[in-house]
Amino acid sequence: MYSVVNRVQEGAAMKIKDYFNEKRSRVADWYTQDTSEIPLHCKVTDKVLDMIVTLSDPREASLAVVDENNQVVGIVTGRDIVLYMGTHRVIEENVTVEALMTANPKTGRPEMLCVDALKIMIEGRFRNLPIEVDGKFVGILSILAAAKGRLMETMAKNTEAYESLKSLRDGMPEIDIENTTQEAFKLVSESKAPFVSVKENDEIVDFLMDYDLRRLWLKQQ
């Protein structure tokens, strides 16, 4: 009889580590998009006095500075204005954003992992990361949003269910993270086990439930 175990070997293979990677929190789900309702950018030539009202809004604590091609050339924050005032005591009417901005800031991409974006901000000691697509500005990721994305990702593993599965691993099938999801599906199908333990460097790092593997197998057909 031609079973699903036989058929699973014919589909496109996906490594287990790639499947886990797909489930990780990405910037695309957490950054604030630049829109006409929520403008998150300004021009180099814009006057600082015109930006003060915008930057005083807690939701818009920073603005990406873009050129005529919508490419990020700087970033300006409310703190930049405070620092300027501390030195000059006053902001003249003709002072433009270029005088205050941080030029050539680090930028991120929607497909980045939140944890990687978080590392960039922590290492750079700044709180907002401009996001670009094909070199064009599309929005801003705050350090708080990146931290939330990372937290949601880790919460999925740090649960009582995860600890319970670890205690039940004895007698359950195990597979390396470098193997494919199809191989994991075959393993749980043949062993009739409810889940398979996933190992990396001989340490249990996660679990794949049989219903997740069946759903994934059907999706790949």
Which range is least confidently modeled, 30-44, 103-117, 122-136, 158-172? 158-172
Q: Are 44 and 98 in contact (CB under 8 A)?
A: yes
Segment 16-33 shows an average pLDDT of: 85
Q: What is the pLDDT of residues 83-124, one digit of tens each?
A: 888 888 888 889 999 999 999 999 999 999 998 999 999 999
Segment 19-48 shows an average pLDDT of: 88
Segment 49-59 shows an average pLDDT of: 76
Could you give the angle at the alpha carbon of 31 between the alpha carbons of 62 and 130, nearest 5°? Answer: 45
What is the structure's pLDDT at 213? Answer: 84
The SS3 assignment for 119 reads: helix
What is the structure's pLDDT at 141? Answer: 94
pLDDT at 43 over 90: yes
Segment 151-169 shows an average pLDDT of: 60
What is the structure's pLDDT at 7? Answer: 41
d(CA 165, CA 161): 6
pLDDT at 44 over 90: yes
What stretch of H or E contains 77? strand 72-77
DSSP-derived letter for residue 167 is: H
Segment 2-13 shows an average pLDDT of: 44
Give the position of tokens 């809004």: 57
Helix, strand, coil % over all residues of the chain, rounded to 5: 45, 25, 30
Q: Are 191 and 173 in contact (CB under 8 A)?
A: yes
Residue 48 in tokens:
């600082």
Which range is least confidently modeled, 96-105, 160-169, 187-196, 199-208? 160-169
Task: Work out whether the CA dihedral 113, 119, 124, 126 comes out positive or negative.
Answer: positive
Residue 219 or 175, more confident? 175
Segment 50-61 shows an average pLDDT of: 74
d(CA 25, CA 2): 38
